[in-house]
C-alpha cells in the first residue's frame, strides 16, 4: 500500500509531469512529421488523368506525358503493316476516360507500338545451287543479288551468303524484304564478256537480246505477273549482276532480272 501511495505521489510531481509531457510532445512531433513525409512522398491526394495515347506516335506521346510528369516504357513492338511505324496500339493503364483510374506523378505508362517489318530466319544456302537459293529466298520474302567469284570447284553453287556487307549465318532473324547477296562460284572455262544493259526492256525483248548474244542465261523475277503473257510483257526495273560500263562476267553466266507489268 505504501509503495502504491509513493508511486502515485511521484506521478503527480511536477518533474514527472514535465518529463511525461516532453515524451508525449516528442512522439506527437514524430508522428506528425512521418505523416507529412509519407503524404509528400506518395503524393497523397494527387490525381492525374491518364491520357489516351492509342493511335498517336511515340514522339507525340512523349511530349504529352512529360507535360503531365508521367513517363513511359515500350513493352513490345507488334507487326502491323496497316499503321505507320511507331504508332501506339495499346497502353497500360488504360485512359482515365475509359477506366476511371487516376495515377500519380512519375507513374510509368507501358506501351505497345506498331512495326512494319516482320522478322524471318535466314536459311542456309551455302553449297546450294544458284537457282535453288534464289527460289528459297523468294519464298521467304527476301530479295537477293548475285555476285560471281572465280572458282575451279563448286561451279554454280553458293559460296557465301551476305547481309549488309557481312556473312550471315543460318537462323539469324532479319526483316522480310531484306536483300541477301549470294556469292556464286563460276569456273574460268569461258572468257569474260561485257554485261548487257537490260533496263527498260520487256522480258521478251531481253530474251531476244540475250539469245542474239548467245552468252547468257536469263532468270526472271516478276512478283505481280500472274500469267505467261504478263511475264513476257513486263518491264525490267533492275538486273543482277548490275550493268556497269566495262564490267564483265564469265561467259554463260545467269542474269537475274526484276520486272513489273505495271511500270513502263
Give yes or no for a contact between 70 and 48, defined as CB atoms under 8 angstroms apart: yes
Cα distances (Å, whole numbers) of residue 43 to 48, 78, 160, 190, 192: 11, 34, 61, 81, 78
| Final residue before a domain boundary, out of 75, 97, 115 | 115
Region of poorest pLDDT, from 1-10, 21-30, 89-98: 1-10
My answer on whether 13 and 106 are in the same domain is no
pLDDT in the model for residue 160: 92
Kindly state whether residue 6 falls inside one of the protein's structural domains. yes
Domain span including residue 16: 1-29
What's 164's domain CATH number?
A: 3.30.10.20
Region of poorest pLDDT, from 2-16, 157-171, 230-244: 2-16
- Does the pLDDT value for residue 83 go beyond 80? yes
More confident residue, 222 or 10: 222
- Who's near 1: CB < 8 A, 6+ residues apart? none
pLDDT in the model for residue 198: 93
| pLDDT average, residue stretch 88-93 | 91
Categorize the per-residue pLDDT at 6 as very low, low, confident or very high, splitting at 50, 70 and 90. low
Region of poorest pLDDT, from 11-25, 49-63, 78-92, 238-252: 11-25
| Final residue before a domain boundary, out of 115, 137, 165 | 115
Q: What is the pTM assigned to this prediction?
A: 0.39
My answer on whether 90 and 141 are in the same domain is no
d(CA 238, CA 256): 9
- Does the pLDDT value for residue 41 go beyond 60? no
Amino acid at each position: 500500500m505504501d509503495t502504491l501511495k509513493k508511486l502515485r505521489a511521484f506521478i503527480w510531481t511536477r518533474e514527472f509531469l514535465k518529463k511525461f509531457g516532453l515524451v508525449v510532445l516528442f512522439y506527437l512531433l514524430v508522428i506528425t512529421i512521418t505523416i507529412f513525409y509519407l503524404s509528400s512522398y506518395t503524393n497523397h491526394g494527387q490525381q492525374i488523368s491518364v491520357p489516351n495515347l492509342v493511335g498517336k506516335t511515340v514522339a507525340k506521346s512523349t511530349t504529352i506525358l512529360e507535360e503531365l510528369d508521367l513517363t513511359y516504357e515500350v513493352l513490345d513492338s507488334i507487326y502491323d503493316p496497316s499503321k505507320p511505324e511507331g504508332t501506339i496500339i495499346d497502353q497500360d493503364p488504360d485512359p482515365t476516360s475509359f477506366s476511371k483510374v487516376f495515377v500519380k506523378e512519375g507513374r510509368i505508362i507501358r506501351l505497345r507500338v506498331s512495326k512494319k517489318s516482320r522478322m524471318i530466319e535466314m536459311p542456309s544456302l551455302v553449297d546450294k545451287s544458284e537457282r535453288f537459293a534464289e527460289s528459297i529466298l523468294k519464298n521467304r520474302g527476301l530479295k537477293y543479288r548475285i555476285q560471281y567469284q572465280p572458282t575451279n570447284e563448286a561451279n554454280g553453287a553458293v559460296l557465301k551468303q551476305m547481309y549488309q556487307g557481312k556473312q550471315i549465318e543460318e537462323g539469324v532473324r532479319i526483316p522480310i524484304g531484306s536483300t541477301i547477296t549470294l556469292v556464286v562460284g563460276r569456273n574460268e572455262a569461258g572468257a569474260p564478256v561485257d554485261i548487257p544493259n537490260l533496263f527498260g526492256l520487256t522480258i521478251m525483248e531481253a530474251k531476244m537480246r540475250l539469245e542474239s548474244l548467245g552468252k547468257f542465261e536469263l532468270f526472271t523475277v516478276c512478283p505481280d505477273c500472274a500469267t505467261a503473257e504478263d511475264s513476257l510483257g513486263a518491264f525490267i526495273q533492275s538486273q543482277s549482276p548490275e550493268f556497269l560500263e566495262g564490267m564483265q562476267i564469265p561467259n554463260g553466266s545467269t542474269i537475274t532480272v526484276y520486272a513489273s507489268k505495271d511500270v513502263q
